[in-house]
Structure 1
Amino acid sequence: MGKKRRQRPTDPRDPRLWPTRVGLALFWLIGQLPWDLLLSLGRGVGHLAWRVAGGRRRVTLTNLRLCFPELDEGERERMARQVFLSTGEAIIEMAGSFHNQRVDLGQRLTVKGMEHIDAARADGQGALLLGMHFNSIDVGSRLLGKILDFSVVYRPNDNPLLDRLITDGRGAWVKHSVDRNDLRRMIKLLRQGEILWYAPDQDYGTEHAVFVPFFGVPAATITATSRLAKMGRARVIPCAHYRLPGGRYEIEFGEPLADFPSGDDEADTSRINRTIEHFVRKHPEQYLWVHKRFKHQPEGRRSPY
């Protein structure tokens, strides 16, 4: 018989989680730094990660090779380095976003397309925000909470202390954090005219998914966006968030997807990916390219990783 697999600790008091507690204490201390210093420290973390995180570096370079074939090898490597710098900023930025309430990030924020949200509100219609995994996702939730009352769909973390950090950190800015498996609650919120942030742009496996192009590459993409929009009677409004020079930020709401859903899951999901691709191309270095977006492939095709 093989070795029995050790269960992950689920009790926050489990001694195996003491290293996490120490790390979270350090995370809190880092969060007290001035904002611009946080971002500078984050870029340092990104530089270090580029050197030591070989696995994620290879994943990033593979993604960029697949998605930006028009770039030569040197250009893709330069973009990959920028991805790591931006990801480092995001990691340290998270500490400030969760733990530093003294800084007023609203003064650093520019908003585009707010009229699309206002129109949905005026009609009493729920809005399903088509979220995207830019690496500023955590500071993005805080910034979004400055201008909207909204709820967020998330995947619970396996580590109970990290899960508490994330839900509490985001909880200060969102009305509800909804488990991604709780479809009934999502629909209820949308039918009540609420705003719900939902990001379908990661590889969650092949169940309830179709293979549609993302940057021209087959990507397993869940079809739930169409179902949520239909059952929740909601408008689907793209929502992107970018980090700008000088420690500033931008949230952009795109036009609601017209005639959506269409009744064709594959066509709708392909349209979702095209929409996300449009916003990613504006600041590609800020997207979560360290994620294995193309891990699952159609039968007969090997994973590129």
Structure 2
Amino acid sequence: MTRLFLALMWLLHWLPLPLLAALGRGLGLLLYVLVGERRHVTLTNLGLCFPHLSPAEKSALARRHFMAFGRSFLELGLWWHASPERIRRLVRLDGGERLAAYKDRPVILLVPHFVGIDAGWIRIALEHGLVAIYTRQKNRVFEAAMNGGRLRFGNCELASRQEGTRKALKAMKGGRFFHYSPDMDYGPKESVFVPFFGVQTATITGLARLAKLTGATVIPVVTRMAGSGYVATVGEPWGDFPGADELANARRLNAFIEAEAMKSPEQYYWLHKRFKTRPPGEQGVY
């Protein structure tokens, strides 16, 4: 079944993006109806982060998120199979000169989980070497296809979360940019509780620790759907980071992601159980 679906994704990648996007949004609406657990997670997250929304407004935002997610999922075939020329047409890279200025210097790309994250990866991979840590999938056939698509332009490398950061750090020292996404709940280990949308949230301290260990510059990258394509925006390098205060470093991370999520809230990854780990004595939210 997985191989059949992967073959379908290959066929679909030949479609014009507007048509493929419409199919993806339809898939997202279907998932909203059928996948009750993730609908519940999304609505819970939105209720915590946007308490001012009415139930109808919250449901509408959740549906828009599922539509964006469905589109991004169906469009994976593009990033795994489309030609470099087509990828450059579909994904605009804004601020790419900032990356070029740091060539051969240690860099951590801070890449929050927006639905366009794979589009951003493949666009930057056309110009620069990348390394990232990924979570192993239960479906190894899909994992192999996903990793093959991400690595198809050569100068990139992946390390599983089980391997830790050593492999990624070695690749970074070899000139690759470390594509790092720390905005998920990885449990209480090496996490601190700081606000995210006003909710005390388990936030890993890895960004500051890795930047301090390697002397790397942190450069944010956010990729969004925009019209009939995507825009991968390379932000200004972070100055005065990391600071000496661990909590302040984590607060800065969350404040940045929160501000970016507010610009296009339907495109941030709300399906994840971001608030699963609670402070001691606090009841679970899911």
Report the residue type matching 2:282 in the other structure. Answer: R
The 5 Å alignment of 1:228-247 reads 228-245=210-227, 247=228
Native 8 Å contact 1:214 1:273 kept in 2: yes
Does 2:117 align with 1:137? Answer: yes
Query: In 2, distance between residues paired with 1:225 and 1:298?
Result: 21
Residue number in structure 2 paired with 1:168: 148
Please give the secondary structure, in 1, of the residue aligned with 2:222.
Answer: strand
Partner of 1:22: 4
- Quickly say closer, same or farther: Cα 1:93–1:128, change in 2 above 3 A: same
In angstroms, what is the RMSD of aligned CA positions? Answer: 1.9
TM-score (normalizing by structure 2)? 0.92
Q: Which entry has the higher C-alpha Rg, 1 or 2?
A: 1
In the other structure, the counterpart of 1:81 is 63
In the TM superposition, what is the alpha-carbon distance from 1:118 to its structure 2 partner?
Answer: 3.4
Superposition deviation, residue 103 in structure 1: 6.5
1:1-16 matched pairs, under 5 angstroms: none
Q: Hey, what does 1:293 align to over in structure 2?
A: 274
Task: Report how far residue 152 of structure 1 moved.
Answer: 2.1
Match for residue 259 of structure 1 among 229, 240, 263: 240
Deviations 1:106-152 (A, max 9, x none): 1233333334323323xx52110001111122222222223433222
Judged with a 3 Å threshold, the aligned counterparts in structure 2 of structure 1 residues 100 and 254 are, in CA distance, closer, same or farther, namely closer
- Range with greater deviation from structure 2 (146-155 or 278-287): 146-155
1:34–1:200 CA distance, 2 compared to 1 (3 A): same
Match in the other structure for 1:12: none
Task: State, as a whole percentage, how many aligned pairs show the same letter.
Answer: 38
Q: Do 1:190 and 1:234's aligned partners in 2 also have CA atoms closer than 8 Å? A: no
The answer as to 2:77 corresponding to 1:95 is: yes
Instruction: Write the deviation string for residues 71-110 of structure 1: whole angstroms up to 9, x where unpaired.
Output: 3322222211110110110111112221333860212333
Partner of residue 132 from structure 2, selected from 152, 158, 164: 152
Query: Which one is further off, 185-194 or 64-73?
Result: 185-194
Secondary structure, in 3 states, of the residue corresponding to 2:47?
helix
Q: d(CA) in 2 for partners of 1:229 and 1:193?
A: 15
Q: Shift in Å at residue 289 of structure 1?
A: 0.4
| 2: CA distance, partners of 1:276 / 1:102 | 29
Give 2:195's aligned residue.
213
CA deviations 1:17-40 (Å, max 9, x no partner) are: xx3333333333333333222111
In structure 2, the residue matched to 1:200 is 182
How far 1:193 moved relative to its partner? 4.0
CA distance in structure 1 between the aligned counterparts of 2:6 and 2:95, rounded to whole angstroms: 36
Asked whether the equivalents of residues 188 and 232 of structure 1 are also in contact (C-alpha less than 8 Å), the reply is no
Q: Give me the whole-angstrom Cα distance separating, in 2, the residues matched to 1:152 and 1:59.
A: 26
Which of 159, 162, 166 pairs up with 1:184? Answer: 166
Question: Amino acid of the residue matched to residue 281 of structure 1?
Answer: M
- Which deviates more from structure 2 when the two are superposed, residues 280-289 or residues 72-81? 72-81
Cα 1:193–1:100 change in 2 (3 A) is closer
Q: Give the secondary-structure state (helix, strand or coil) at the position aligned to 2:75.
A: helix
Distance 2:93 2:205 in 1: 29
Contact 1:130 1:199 in 2 (8 A): yes
Q: Matches of 1:77 and 1:198 in 2, distance apart?
A: 31
Contact 2:158 2:168 in 1 (8 A): no
Distance 1:139 1:258 in 2: 27
**Alignment partners' CA distance in 1, 2:138 and 2:214:** 29
Contact kept? 2:208, 2:241, Cα under 8 Å: yes
Moved more, 34-43 or 162-171: 34-43
Cα deviation per residue 1:157-192 (whole Å; 9 max; x = unaligned)?
232212101110111145111223432222223334
Q: Which residue of 1 aligns with 2:255?
A: 274
Residues in 1 aligned to 2:102 and 2:119: alpha-carbon distance in whole angstroms: 25
